[in-house]
Amino acid sequence: DTAVSQTPKYLVTQMGNDKSIKCEQNLGHDTMYWYKQDSKKFLKIMFSYNNKELIINETVPNRFSPKSPDKAHLNLHINSLELGDSAVYFCASSRGFRTEAFFGQGTRLTVV
Amino acid sequence: KNEVEQSPQNLTAQEGEFITINCSYSVGISALHWLQQHPGGGIVSLFMLSSGKKKHGRLIATINIQEKHSSLHITASHPRDSAVYICAVNGDSNYQLIWGAGTKLIIKP
């Protein structure tokens, strides 16, 4: 069974649309994260959730919003998509902060 | 200057060679991670270290806290080891992972 799963794997959409990327972990972890990997392959943290509370909210546009219906899920909603949002987005989870993180396979978002 | 620096940025080697990838950091840390990103994009955690040395199969990771340096070694390298290897640290003063830019490794048969 996949420990951290993201859907969809690929997402192509037009500018201005609203889209969501789902993430689920079956590891019983308390902390989940969303990362954005830019064109230079550099990973930047966007959000992290610990026990359903947003702990870190980096300076990302408020068009991005994380939604955690329960401890096992952290979905990423993006409103009014822009060309610059095109990137690979990774979900991850860990038992807590400063513990080993397990990553999803990533979602390649292309905004056209 | 990035807080986490990796070297080299790119490394091409022949199958069987001993590989070393270095990571230096300038902040106090509570843990250091080595991760592997496959050509298809997936990321896998290889090691988490706070001191000393760890070994999994052909992979060895070491950390020197005093020198703020870690190395990832691959023995008897194989083309399937071709990937991007990323170093990341948990800072003392915050909960974020601070990422290195990655080392792209290509192992030729």
pLDDT digits (tens, 9 = 90+) for A41-95: 677 888 888 876 777 676 788 899 999 888 899 999 999 999 999 998 999 998 8
Query: What does the pLDDT read at residue B56?
Result: 92
Nearest CB partner across the interface for A106, out of B42, B95, B96:
B42
CA distance B87 to chain A (A): 11
Helix H segments across A12-112?
none
Cα–Cα distance for residue pair A90/B45, rounded to 1 Å = 13
Read off the pLDDT band of B40 (50, 70, 90). low
CB of A10 within 8 Å of any CB in chain B?
A: no
Decide: helix, strand or coil at residue A85: helix
Q: What is the mean pLDDT of chain B?
A: 90
Query: What does the pLDDT read at residue A58?
Result: 66
Q: Residue A14, class by beta-carbon neighbours within 10 Å (0-12 exposed, 13-18 middle, 19+ buried)?
A: exposed
Cα–Cα distance for residue pair B14/A53, rounded to 1 Å = 48
Nearest CB partner across the interface for A98, out of B30, B45, B84:
B30
Q: Are strands B59-64 and B69-74 parallel, antiparallel or unpaired?
A: antiparallel
pLDDT tens across B47-100, in order?
888 899 999 999 999 999 999 999 999 999 999 999 999 999 877 765 567 888
Mutate to test the interface with B, among A49, A98, A99, A102 (most CBs of B within 10 A): A98
